[in-house]
Structure 1
């Protein structure tokens, strides 16, 4: 699937279709982002519960795990307007960085920092990957990506996702999930801090070859509003306008 290969090659943000990753950002992450420690499941002590063997329908959850999944659903359901910074780290430890914006339901934008000229934007119905250097674009329905699980109007992971892993320590939840919709393939592992408040820290996608790509986020701000123009899929070409 050409689109899926390009999507993972561009951002590794959505699904598991394999393909190469983008070249390393020559500047690396900003100093502010370098100071943010990576969240690693192997470094977390005091896990509660066990990781059950995954089946086609997901794992069997106990009561405490069910509550954790419900809490994560409520967290994503509470995010109306969100912005922050991200660092993308591929399996070869190559890094790219940029800024992202989210406006639920369904709208988001990832702007990669120079030297990349890549933009990923969803208008709530379609997701577009645009390469401004090559002047080309790929699109897919947002409902064909796992983003629909987390950014839909009514987030309910117990209803819509196959849960493959639930782990919990004093200050971190790790949640692995897949969309039950066969048209939205992909596995995502979420790392969510619980102290001082619940906040997304990173997610990891694993491609068909078993290679991981990690997206670390920082500087998250829940704002009152975001300009709707950020989420319009702009036409390519020499007269393209840039949202403020």
Structure 2
């Protein structure tokens, strides 16, 4: 069933898409408000994300008392898969054109155009951190780790996301989303590795609720 409500496109695909809002970009005016070291950290983040053309790993998502976990795959441009083990069977798949979500517990299938979600920016062929998002803070640690706090420039009231990077070489470790109502969702990437040769079938999801038509 297609999603017509724009709010659903953000809530229903929260794990894979609302988190990626911050990857969209940093407008020039906001860049000028950052220190030289802050801008260097943003440049590091952009270079890392641009270099991540294909990857896979595991995640843990917590929101209030809820805990979810699973595995993910990505292949730019346009493709990503979040496969939950807790709750078992829940899927979120970007196939290059649409983002699809299937919840087997409710037997509900939804989809929205990829271009209507923040995933489209993260999964673009070229990732830019110089337009579309206002970065309000860069928090740097002595260890070299840093976190970028951002809001969607066109929807500043929708909430914010914090992306955390650390390690040598640099790696995206987690993100935390705070929505317009103040609810927080934290997604930790417990593993993330670059890969290649991912099967095309990973990024395909047909509507399981549709029964084949009889002739």
TM-score between both structures, scaled by the size of structure 1:
0.71
1:8 partnered with 2:11: yes
Q: Which runs of 5+ in 1 are unaligned?
A: 17-56
Contact 2:69 2:87 survives alignment (8 Å): no
In 2, the alpha carbon distance for the partners of 1:110 and 1:3 equals 21
1:128 partnered with 2:100: yes
Query: Which deviations, in whole Å up to 9, do the C-alpha atoms of 1:138-171 show, x marking residues without a partner?
Result: 2122222222332211111123322122111223
- Residue 185 of structure 2 aligns with which residue? 213
- Residue 128 of structure 2 aligns with which residue? 156
Q: Counterparts in 2 of 1:6-155, with a 5 A limit?
A: 8=11, 11-15=14-18, 58=30, 60-90=33-63, 92-155=64-127
Question: How far has the Cα of 1:10 moved from its partner?
Answer: 6.3
Contact 1:146 1:179 survives alignment (8 Å): no
In 2, the alpha carbon distance for the partners of 1:14 and 1:187 equals 13
Q: Counterparts in 2 of 1:176-195, with a 5 A limit?
A: 176-181=149-154, 187-193=160-166, 195=167
Question: How far has the Cα of 1:77 moved from its partner?
Answer: 0.5
Root-mean-square deviation over aligned CA pairs: 2.7
Q: Point out the structure with the larger strand share.
A: 2
Q: Which structure exhibits the higher relative contact order, with contacts defined as CA atoms closer than 8 Å and separated by 6 or more residues? A: 2
Pair 1:117–1:10, CA change in 2 (3 A): farther
Contact 1:102 1:109 survives alignment (8 Å): yes
Does 161-170 or 79-88 show the bigger shift?
161-170
Query: Which deviations, in whole Å up to 9, do the C-alpha atoms of 1:81-109 show, x marking residues without a partner?
Result: 1100011100x232011000010112100
TM-score between both structures, scaled by the size of structure 2:
0.80
- Residue 20 of structure 1 aligns with which residue? none
- Residue 202 of structure 2 aligns with which residue? 230
In 2, the alpha carbon distance for the partners of 1:135 and 1:3 equals 21
In 2, the alpha carbon distance for the partners of 1:93 and 1:134 equals 21
The DSSP-based 3-state class of the residue aligned with 2:40 is helix
